C-alpha cells in the first residue's frame, strides 16, 4: 500500500503552499485534487488578475478579518505578505502594489501566480493527482488519522500517511470545486461546523431603481448600512448597480454584516451618499450656487453637473421635480429633496446572492477546535486544516488569499516537524 509523509486534501492555494513547505523540509507529499487542474479558484480571483496579498501591517490585517482574527498571529509571523511576494519572485513573477496596499502580478495574469506556485511544488517533488476525490479519513487503532480513501476514475484507493491536511476550501464558487466536502470530513472526525454562508457577496434590493441603473459604476461614494433603523457600518469607495441590486467593492465588504443581519430577520437598508465629500451646508451652498449660475436653464440640464447621465431620470422620478423647471424656480423644499437624494439614496435589502457569486465563505471549522501554533486539530491526532475551510474570512483586498498562504504554510511546516523533519 502507498504511503506518504503528508497527504493534502485539495489542490487550491492553501494546499499547494502547504505542500511547498512540507516538501521543502524533506517530507514526501501527495496532493489529492478532485478537479482536473489545481488552483481553479485562484485563477478567477481579482477578476483574473489575482490580488495576491496586501502590504498592510499584521496589526492592520486583524481589523479586516473575522471572527477571531488574532488566531492568525502565529501563522502570520511564520509566513506573511513579504514571504509570498518573495516566493513568487523566486519563481519569476514580478509584483506591483496598487491603491490600498493591494498587490498584483505585474503581468495582470492570475495564471502566472498559479504556475509559479506549482513550479515551486514540482521542484520540491510534490506529487499531485487530479480527478481524485477524498471520500473518507482512515484511522489507526488509536483513532488517529493515518491516511485517506479516495476515488479516481471510478476506482477506490487508499493511501496511508503520517498526517493529513484538509485544504478543501469553503462553498463559494462551487464550479471551482468548493462544495463543502471538507466540512463533511471534519464532521466525521468529530468537529463542529459554524454555519456557512456567503461572504463578500452582491446584495439583492427591493424596487426598480437598481435595475434601472444596472451597469453603472460609481467611485468615491459612501454606503451606509442601517439595521432596524440604526446605523451599523459604512464604507467608502466604488460600487456597482446590477439588475438585482448592488455590488462592487464597498458593497461586498459590508455584505459580510448584511448577510448575518438578514439571516437574523432584521430589516436592512443601505443608503448611498453620492456626495460624501460635502456636508449638508457645503452641499446646500453648492446647490444654491449652481441654481443661481444657471438660473435660466432647465433642471434637466443643471442635473448633468450633479450626476452621471444614467441617474438623471431616476433622480427626477424620486424627487418628483419637474425637469422642465428652471433653476430660479426651484423652491427650498425641492432643494431639500435634491440634497436627500444626493446624500441618502436608499435601498431596502431583501436578500443576497448565492455561493455561486460569493467571493468567500463565512463559517466553517471553529478556530477554537484548531491549535493556532500548528493548525492541527485539537480533537484528532495527525489532522490539520488550512485555508477557507476554517471559520475565518476577510474583506476584499488580498486578505483572504493571505489567510490561505499563511495557514497552509504553517500546516505544512507543522506536519513535517511532527514527523521529525527540520529546516
- The per-residue pLDDT for range 170-180, each reduced to its tens digit, is 999 988 988 89
The per-residue pLDDT for 175 is 87
* 418 touches 163 (CB < 8 A): yes
- Residues 219 and 366 reside in one and the same domain: no
pLDDT confidence band for 47 (50 / 70 / 90)? confident
- Residues 322 and 305 reside in one and the same domain: yes
- Is residue 309 domain-resident? yes
The residue-averaged pLDDT of 247-271 equals 96
- Residues 331 and 190 reside in one and the same domain: no
pLDDT confidence band for 74 (50 / 70 / 90)? very high
pLDDT confidence band for 1 (50 / 70 / 90)? confident
Read out DSSP for 31-53? EE-SSSSS-TTGGGGGGGT---E
Q: What is the CATH number of the domain that holds 394?
A: 3.50.50.60
Phi, psi of 305, deg, nearest 5: -75, -20
Total count of domains within the chain: 2
The per-residue pLDDT for 222 is 98
- Is residue 342 domain-resident? yes
- Is residue 423 domain-resident? no
In 3D space, the residue among 4, 7, 14, 12 whose CA is nearest the CA of residue 35 turns out to be: 12
In 3D space, the residue among 197, 154, 121 whose CA is nearest the CA of residue 355 turns out to be: 197
The residue-averaged pLDDT of 301-318 equals 97
- Residues 36 and 97 reside in one and the same domain: yes
Range of the domain at 189: 3-197+361-418
The per-residue pLDDT for 150 is 97
Residue with cell 452641499: 283
Q: Is the pLDDT of residue 283 over 90?
A: yes
Q: Is the pLDDT of residue 112 over 90?
A: yes
- Residues 290 and 408 reside in one and the same domain: no
The residue-averaged pLDDT of 368-393 equals 98
The per-residue pLDDT for 163 is 98
- Residues 100 and 213 reside in one and the same domain: no
d(CA 304, CA 358): 35
d(CA 296, CA 292): 9
- Pick the more confident residue, 47 or 239: 239
- Residues 193 and 206 reside in one and the same domain: no
Question: What is the DSSP secondary structure assignment for residue 174, as one 8-state letter?
Answer: G
Q: Is the pLDDT of residue 79 over 90?
A: yes
- Residues 365 and 341 reside in one and the same domain: no
d(CA 277, CA 216): 20
Q: Is the pLDDT of residue 423 over 90?
A: no
Residue with cell 438578514: 262
Phi, psi of 232, deg, nearest 5: -110, -45
Q: Is the pLDDT of residue 142 over 90?
A: no
pLDDT confidence band for 141 (50 / 70 / 90)? confident
Mean pLDDT, the chain, whole residue set: 96
d(CA 299, CA 319): 12
272: β partners:
223, 345
d(CA 280, CA 258): 27
Using alpha carbons only, how large is the chain's radius of gyration in Å?
25
CA of 401: how far to CAs of 125, 170, 255, 259, 292, in Å? Answer: 24, 13, 19, 21, 52
Give pTM, 2 decimals. 0.93
Amino acid at each position: 500500500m502507498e504511503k506518504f509523509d503528508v497527504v493534502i486534501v485539495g489542490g487550491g492555494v492553501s494546499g499547494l503552499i502547504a505542500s511547498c513547505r512540507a516538501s521543502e523540509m524533506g517530507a514526501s507529499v501527495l496532493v489529492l485534487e478532485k478537479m482536473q487542474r489545481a488552483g481553479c479558484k485562484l485563477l478567477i480571483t481579482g477578476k483574473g488578475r489575482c490580488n495576491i496579498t496586501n502590504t498592510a501591517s499584521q496589526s492592520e490585517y486583524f481589523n479586516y478579518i473575522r471572527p477571531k482574527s488574532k488566531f492568525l498571529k502565529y501563522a502570520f509571523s511564520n509566513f506573511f505578505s513579504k514571504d509570498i511576494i518573495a516566493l513568487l519572485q523566486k519563481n519569476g513573477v514580478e509584483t506591483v502594489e496598487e491603491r490600498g496596499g493591494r498587490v498584483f502580478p505585474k503581468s495582470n495574469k492570475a495564471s502566472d501566480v498559479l504556475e509559479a506556485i506549482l513550479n515551486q511544488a514540482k521542484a520540491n517533488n510534490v506529487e499531485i493527482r487530479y480527478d481524485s476525490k477524498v471520500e473518507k479519513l482512515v484511522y489507526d487503532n488509536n483513532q488517529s488519522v493515518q491516511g485517506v480513501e479516495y476515488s479516481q476514475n471510478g476506482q477506490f484507493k487508499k493511501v496511508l500517511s503520517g498526517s493529513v491536511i484538509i485544504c478543501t476550501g469553503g462553498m463559494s464558487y462551487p464550479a471551482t470545486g468548493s462544495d463543502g466536502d471538507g466540512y463533511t470530513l471534519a464532521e466525521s472526525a468529530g468537529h463542529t461546523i459554524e454555519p456557512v454562508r456567503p461572504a463578500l457577496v452582491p446584495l439583492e434590493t427591493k424596487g426598480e431603481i437598481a435595475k434601472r441603473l444596472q451597469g453603472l459604476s460609481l467611485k468615491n461614494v459612501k454606503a451606509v448600512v442601517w439595521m432596524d433603523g440604526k446605523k451599523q457600518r459604512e464604507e467608502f469607495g466604488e460600487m456597482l448597480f446590477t439588475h438585482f441590486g448592488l455590488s462592487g467593492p464597498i458593497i461586498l465588504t459590508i455584505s459580510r454584516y448584511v448577510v448575518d443581519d438578514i439571516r437574523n430577520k432584521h430589516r436592512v437598508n443601505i443608503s448611498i451618499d453620492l456626495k460624501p465629500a460635502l456636508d449638508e451646508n457645503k452641499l446646500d451652498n453648492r446647490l444654491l450656487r449652481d441654481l443661481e449660475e444657471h438660473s435660466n436653464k432647465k433642471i434637466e440640464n443643471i442635473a448633468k453637473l450633479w450626476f452621471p447621465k444614467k441617474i438623471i431620470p431616476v433622480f427626477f422620478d424620486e424627487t418628483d421635480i419637474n425637469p422642465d423647471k428652471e433653476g430660479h424656480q426651484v423652491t427650498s423644499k425641492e432643494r431639500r429633496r435634491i440634497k436627500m437624494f444626493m446624500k441618502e439614496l436608499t435601498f431596502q435589502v431583501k436578500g443576497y446572492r448565492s455561493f455561486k457569486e460569493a467571493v468567500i465563505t463565512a463559517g466553517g471549522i471553529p478556530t477554537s477546535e484548531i491549535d493556532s501554533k500548528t493548525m492541527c486539530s485539537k480533537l484528532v491526532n495527525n489532522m490539520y486544516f488550512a485555508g477557507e475551510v476554517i471559520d475565518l474570512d476577510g474583506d476584499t483586498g488580498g486578505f483572504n488569499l493571505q489567510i490561505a498562504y499563511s495557514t497552509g504554510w504553517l500546516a505544512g511546516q507543522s506536519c513535517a516537524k511532527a514527523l521529525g523533519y527540520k529546516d
